[in-house]
Each structure stands twice: as structure tokens, then as C-alpha cells.
Structure 1
Amino acid sequence: MTEDGRLLGVMMVCGHRIDGATLYVESDDVDKEVTVGMWTAARPLGAGLTTWTLDAPAAGWTVSRPLASLDARTTYALYGWTKDNSWSSSSVSFTPGDLDRLAPGKVRYIEVSDKGDESAVTVTMAEFAARACPDG
């Protein structure tokens, strides 16, 4: 989230490349996974941290599908992808209620334990940058 409360996409690229990101309605039924926002990077994103605003055009990004209104009763997922489908990032799931609990400079992501257990955590941007790529 930005200082002025705008929704921010945050991605750490770890050792591969990412070409864009999609926000979709999360569902066990693939036919119900509706895209509610899509952004394409001006050039492939290499290793490192990147951010972009989800509700308006951002430098270095093209809005492929403008962000739709988010429904309070719906779970969404955001993930990064490559144009040739050779790689994708981990996704993070959230509801608008989860976003209401975010503060500027905080990031929600899925942390994977050494045992492979996944849990949603909220940390500072600096902590995310330090922890998101466990292998370096």
C-alpha cells in the first residue's frame, strides 16, 4: 500500500524473469477464476524487487486490464507470469478485509516454511525484500 492508501502490487523476482502480473478471483473451479486486473511490464523483470500501483498506470507498466472493483466477500489472488508461460511467481491470496489491515509500507505475501507449510504474513517492504528469496 502506498502512503496515500492506494493498492500496490509488490513482487520479488528470484532468479528468473517475470513479464507481467494478473489479479483474479480465486476459486476451486477454474471456470470461475475471473481476471479482475492485468499489468504487463515494459520489459522483462529480472531479479529484484518491483512495485506498481494497481489502480492507475505506473511507470514501466502497461495496464492490460484495468482493475475492477473488489467485492468484500470475494477472495482474490495476485501472481506474476511470463508471456511464454515458462515461469510464474508464487501467488498471494487476499480479501478486501485483509487489505484494510495493511498499512503503508507493509506487504502481504505467502511465506513457505522449511517443511513446506504456507502461511500469509504481513511484513515491512524491507523484510519482504530480505526474506522473499530464501535461496539468495
Structure 2
Amino acid sequence: MALKPGVLYVAYGWTRDSTWYTGHVEFTLERLSNLKPGQVLSQTYVEANDRFEDRVQPYSQFAAEKCA
């Protein structure tokens, strides 16, 4: 499936038996176009702003933090 400009996509993952799940990430083709190979887009809730904000980081850093 090709991504379409201007469309908001939401990715979310879970296991079949719901014993594990991920947080979601929202993105558009335009926001993804800013990523470079080896980077990961995630979103972090910022309480002061009461919203989720994009966070771009190297895959190695993401894996070290999230897969430990």
C-alpha cells in the first residue's frame, strides 16, 4: 500500500491474546519524509502541553531504551 499525502496514519501493535501491546504513533507521509535511514519516529506525552509530541532518535537509542 502506498502512503498518500495529507492522510493521518496510526500504527499500533498487539499480540493475538492481548498479553502485550504497544503505544500508538500517528504520522503523515510528510512527517515521515523528514526521517533518515536508521531513525525511529515515536511520540511522547508531554503533560505540560497535554499532547503527544514527535520524538526522532537513532534506532540504537530507541532499542536500548524500549527493548531493555
Task: Report the TM-score, using the length of structure 1 for normalisation.
Answer: 0.42
Counterpart residue number, 1:128 = 62
Identify which of structures 1 and 2 has the higher relative contact order when contacts are C-alpha pairs closer than 8 Å and 6+ apart.
1
SS at match of 2:13: strand
Over the residues paired in the alignment, what is the CA RMSD in angstroms?
Answer: 2.5
Query: Which one-letter code corresponds to 2:32 in the other structure?
Result: L
Tell me, yes or no, if the aligned pair for 1:109 and 1:121 is still in contact at 8 Å: yes
Which has the higher Rg, Structure 1 or Structure 2? Answer: 1
Deviations 1:2-43 (A, max 9, x none): xxxxxxxxxxxxxxxxxxxxxxxxxxxxxxxxxxxxxxxxxx
For residues 113 and 130 of structure 1, do their structure 2 counterparts lie closer, same or farther at Cα, with a shift above 3 Å needed?
farther
Structure 2 distance, partners of 1:131, 1:112, is: 16
The count of residues paired between Structure 1 and Structure 2 equals 67
Following TM superposition, by how much is the alpha carbon of 1:82 offset from its aligned partner in structure 2, in angstroms?
0.9
Provide structure 1 residue ranges, at least 5 long, that are not aligned to the other structure.
1-67
Identical amino acids, percent of aligned pairs: 30
Residue among 12, 25, 28 paired with 1:92: 25
Deviations 1:64-111 (A, max 9, x none): xxxx12110101011111112343200111000011101011100012
Tell me, yes or no, if the aligned pair for 1:111 and 1:132 is still in contact at 8 Å: no
Query: As a proportion of its length, which structure holds more helix?
Result: 2
Counterpart residue number, 1:105 = 38
Counterpart residue number, 1:44 = none
- Tell me which stretches of 4 or more aligned residues in structure 1 moved more than 4 Å: 113-117
Query: As a proportion of its length, which structure holds more strand?
Result: 1
